[in-house]
Structure 1
Amino acid sequence: MNDNNPNDPFDELMRRSLHEEADRIEPSDALPEIRARAHAQRSAARRPWLLTAGLAAAGTAAAIGAFTMLNGPDNVADDGDAVAGSTTTATGAPETRVPSVASVTPEPSQAPTQPPPTSPSAKTAGPTESGVPEPAVKSTVVPVYWLGQQVGAQKESAARLYRTWAKVSGRPAEQAVRIMTTKQPSDPDYYSVWRGAALNTVTRSNGIVTVDFKQLPKTNLDADLAKVATQQLVYTVQGALGDAGGTRVQVTEQGRAAGKLFGQVDTSQPMSRAQATEVQAFIWVTAPDDNTVVTTPVKVTGIASVFEAQVNWRIVSVKTRAVVAQGAANTSEAYKFAPFAFSVTKLPPGTYTLEVFEISAGDGTITSTDSKSIVVR
């Protein structure tokens, strides 16, 4: 603008043009749009059912962090002797004790929430092609099965199933499988061949539980070991669901048929639970846990299916390798999985290995051993 000539025709023309342009602008309230964008961002962050490639890895990490182990460090799944509540073991033997379970607050990603409004094209948390996800819980105890070398077996690769317990929050079966595939058991005698597997979802529909993996283990095993390793998954899933044998388990990879699991097991059809005598350890110690500090008398409990209902035991000094105590105990019933219990008195302070085993009626060799490291104070 020219201040020296307020009546300049050019200045007057510019003023009229600016006024006319301003009159065409209609202001609007942008607050609703801002709120809608913010809500959409928060809603997307809360949608665990949106299985995009970017969110899948983050969802797995959040789910693995949701569980805590009983009586042990964060990176192991500890052994236990009973599941919370009135129930039976995976083989039908009655439990004798119930562990106390502290309340655990679930991670935000696992807390049950009402799904936010979505567009018609967005996926929801309802039924999927594979079925319905199990309900999330605040805190519960689930069984997790592991492999253990079968002492006295003719084949070096012979293995049997051993059960431990873990406290979880979120979806019980899903968390149990995550432990089985990513964690190490506290007992060094137990192991898993599911390393390298990445779980996607566990859903149920029409009497079948579908366990879908982003990636299955690439390990090839011999036929016998592959069967037991597959039953490790079946027993863990059914145990976490509280269904000892009725629900068949279908294994898929990224929603499709998985082919031969471990190079041996056909996954084209749902798998049923094998008989306990075919895959389960004939003797396992349920208490004390491995690396437990105890005082005398040391009370030992377990489950066994043995000849003439008798198990043998011994206490070996870690320092001297000498047997400091030994004896025998009976199960409640012969030739069936049944509980046993005994006490060991007068053990001086020290570190010991507790071994419970069966002596072969054929050649007198030691078979079916389960052992625990204990520290006596």
Structure 2
Amino acid sequence: MNERWSSEEEKLQAALHAAAQNVSPGPDGLARIRRRTAESPWWRNPVFYGVAAGVATAAAAVVIAVNTLGTGADDLSVSPADSPTSSQTSVPSQEPTTGPVDPTDADPTRDPDDDPGDDPESEPIDPAEEPDETEPPATAERMALPVYFTVDGQVNREWQSVTGTDPLLAAADASLNGTSFDPRYESLWSPVEVISAEVVDGVIEVDLRSPVELDADPELADEAVQQLVYTVTATAAMPLVPEVDGAVPVRILVDGAPADDLFGSVDVSEPVTRADQIDVRYLIDIDSPAYGADVSSPVTVSGVAAVFEGNALWELRRDGEVVDSGITQTEEAFTFSPFSIELGDLEPGTYEITVMEDDVSDGEGPEPRFETKEFTVVAP
């Protein structure tokens, strides 16, 4: 099945790419830790339900197109702009740098090729080795990439601005070795070198250097493999990798040779496809604002969720105090579907937005899943 782009999606991919070109992570970005309070979870408070019951919200347009990442081509994540293709297998000439990506900050009218970030430390080219003029060397640039980590053993996406020349390699390395901006997110892998990641005969080949080890409970070995598979397949579905059209499987190599298994338990002797997202994906994902992002008013929260009857509760806090709350609905129920929350004009300051499942068990079942993002509203 072919990936088709609407005019809105084309505008979005340009916007995300422009945002990636502009993002520079602040020196304190990873040090910002969310506030925790000792009070009982707000979703257990009957007062909230009394307030929320009177709130009727309609699902607005989502800012991340094709947000419901499933196992088919139409469900794959899509995102920004043109970039060197994965056939250009040169490793980035500098360590990849990452930053959170907030799609709402982008200027869709800006040419994404305006500022391709050169590498100031690159060695001069020997004239005898100078490439043909028709094949100039790839230039490192910022790319907005869908990087998957895990929350409570389930995969979840974080859009990151990564500097490099090869989107597949950069995304795989960021997932397995990078640091998420959201402190709840983590990788299930021990650090491992990603030698290459490229599309070969309709299959994504990811070559890892041994040792390849799990940094989690052995029961999460399958989820660790899916963390990598979801990352590279989502990246391959973007126009950054134009030779891929639709869903493709992933072949995992170790030291250049096909691996029979990973972590001593996961069979990877054949190319691996995405597991059904309802089985491996965290049920709530806030795409925008990104964790730690600076935004301006009016503020819109958007993401994707698979929640009972399409209902999700939300709460906005500032300095530990609730300033707003309500109910939002996904576009479809019982499947991963977009949601949107209009917060309107907010005073400058740091806020925390939480979106969570409605507890239909009335406290008798498991704790509802939730997603929290901290963001800062800046003065105009």
TM-score grouping bracket, smaller chain normalisation: 0.5 to 0.7
Deviation at 1:237, TM superposition (A): 1.2
CA 1:87 to 1:359, structure 2 compared with 1: closer, same or farther past 3 Å?
A: closer
1:105 aligns with 2:104: no
Structure 2: give runs of 5+ residues left out of the alignment.
Answer: 1-19, 31-61, 80-102, 131-136, 238-243
Deviation at 1:109, TM superposition (A): 6.8
Q: Is the 8 A contact 1:136 1:172 kept in 2?
A: no
Q: Is the 8 A contact 2:354 2:372 kept in 1?
A: yes
1:193 aligns with 2:185: no
Q: Work out the CA distance in 2 between the residues paired with 1:205 and 1:106.
A: 28
Q: Work out the CA distance in 1 between the residues paired with 2:310 and 2:221.
A: 30
The residue correspondences of 1:133-144 to structure 2 (distance < 5 A) are: 139=141, 140-144=143-147
Which residue of the partner structure matches residue 90 of structure 1? 69
Q: Deviations over 1:6-52 (max 9, x none)?
A: xxxxxxxxxxxxxxxxxxxxxxxxxxxxxxxxxxxxxxxxxxxxxxx
Aligned to 2:369, what secondary structure does the other structure show? strand
Q: Is the 8 A contact 1:70 1:167 kept in 2?
A: no
Q: Work out the CA distance in 2 between the residues paired with 1:75 and 1:213.
A: 31
Instruction: Report the TM-score when normalising by structure 2.
Output: 0.62
Q: Is the 8 A contact 1:161 1:279 kept in 2?
A: no
Structure of larger gyration radius:
1
The residue correspondences of 1:279-298 to structure 2 (distance < 5 A) are: 279-298=280-299
Aligned to 2:361, what secondary structure does the other structure show? coil
Which residue of the partner structure matches residue 335 of structure 1? 334
Q: Deviations over 1:262-314 (max 9, x none)?
A: 34312222111111111122111111111233455432111111111111101
Q: Work out the CA distance in 2 between the residues paired with 1:273 and 1:110.
A: 40
CA 1:244 to 1:161, structure 2 compared with 1: closer, same or farther past 3 Å?
A: farther
Q: Work out the CA distance in 1 between the residues paired with 2:172 and 2:197.
A: 9
Structure 1: give runs of 5+ residues left out of the alignment.
Answer: 1-66, 118-134, 150-157
The residue correspondences of 1:146-295 to structure 2 (distance < 5 A) are: 146-149=149-152, 158-219=153-214, 221-222=216-217, 224-242=219-237, 246-295=247-296
CA 1:360 to 1:351, structure 2 compared with 1: closer, same or farther past 3 Å?
A: same
Matching residue's letter, 2:325:
Q
CA 1:361 to 1:223, structure 2 compared with 1: closer, same or farther past 3 Å?
A: farther
Aligned to 2:328, what secondary structure does the other structure show? strand
Q: Work out the CA distance in 2 between the residues paired with 1:350 and 1:211.
A: 42
Q: Work out the CA distance in 1 between the residues paired with 2:138 and 2:260.
A: 30
CA 1:171 to 1:110, structure 2 compared with 1: closer, same or farther past 3 Å?
A: farther
Q: Work out the CA distance in 1 between the residues paired with 2:233 and 2:166.
A: 13
Which residue of the partner structure matches residue 314 of structure 2? 313
CA 1:109 to 1:235, structure 2 compared with 1: closer, same or farther past 3 Å?
A: farther
Aligned to 1:215, what secondary structure does the other structure show? coil
Q: Is the 8 A contact 1:195 1:217 kept in 2?
A: yes
CA 1:74 to 1:199, structure 2 compared with 1: closer, same or farther past 3 Å?
A: farther
The residue correspondences of 1:13-162 to structure 2 (distance < 5 A) are: 70-73=23-26, 90-91=69-70, 92=75, 99-100=106-107, 101=112, 103-105=115-117, 107=119, 116=129, 139=141, 140-149=143-152, 158-162=153-157
Aligned to 1:201, what secondary structure does the other structure show? strand
Q: Work out the CA distance in 2 between the residues paired with 1:352 and 1:206.
A: 47
Q: Deviations over 1:227-262 (max 9, x none)?
A: 121111111111222258622111121123435423
Matching residue's letter, 1:105:
G
Q: Work out the CA distance in 2 between the residues paired with 1:145 and 1:112.
A: 36
Q: What is the count of residue pairs matched by the alignment?
A: 280
Q: Work out the CA distance in 2 between the residues paired with 1:200 and 1:294.
A: 36
Q: Work out the CA distance in 1 between the residues paired with 2:229 and 2:158.
A: 13
Q: Is the 8 A contact 1:76 1:185 kept in 2?
A: no
Q: Is the 8 A contact 2:146 2:235 kept in 1?
A: yes
Aligned to 2:368, what secondary structure does the other structure show? strand
Which residue of the partner structure matches residue 5 of structure 1? none
Q: Work out the CA distance in 2 between the residues paired with 1:244 and 1:74.
A: 38
CA 1:250 to 1:340, structure 2 compared with 1: closer, same or farther past 3 Å?
A: same
Matching residue's letter, 1:72:
P
Q: Work out the CA distance in 1 between the residues paired with 2:264 and 2:22.
A: 32
Q: Deviations over 1:303-335 (max 9, x none)?
A: 1111111111012334xx332321111111111
CA 1:366 to 1:295, structure 2 compared with 1: closer, same or farther past 3 Å?
A: farther
CA 1:222 to 1:239, structure 2 compared with 1: closer, same or farther past 3 Å?
A: same
Q: Which has the higher contact order (CA 8 A, sep 6+)?
A: 2
Aligned to 1:185, what secondary structure does the other structure show? coil
RMSD in angstroms over aligned alpha carbons? 3.9
Q: Work out the CA distance in 2 between the residues paired with 1:269 and 1:370.
A: 34
Deviation at 1:372, TM superposition (A): 0.7
Instruction: Report the TM-score when normalising by structure 1.
Output: 0.62
Aligned to 1:363, what secondary structure does the other structure show? coil
Q: Work out the CA distance in 1 between the residues paired with 2:253 and 2:124.
A: 26
CA 1:338 to 1:207, structure 2 compared with 1: closer, same or farther past 3 Å?
A: same
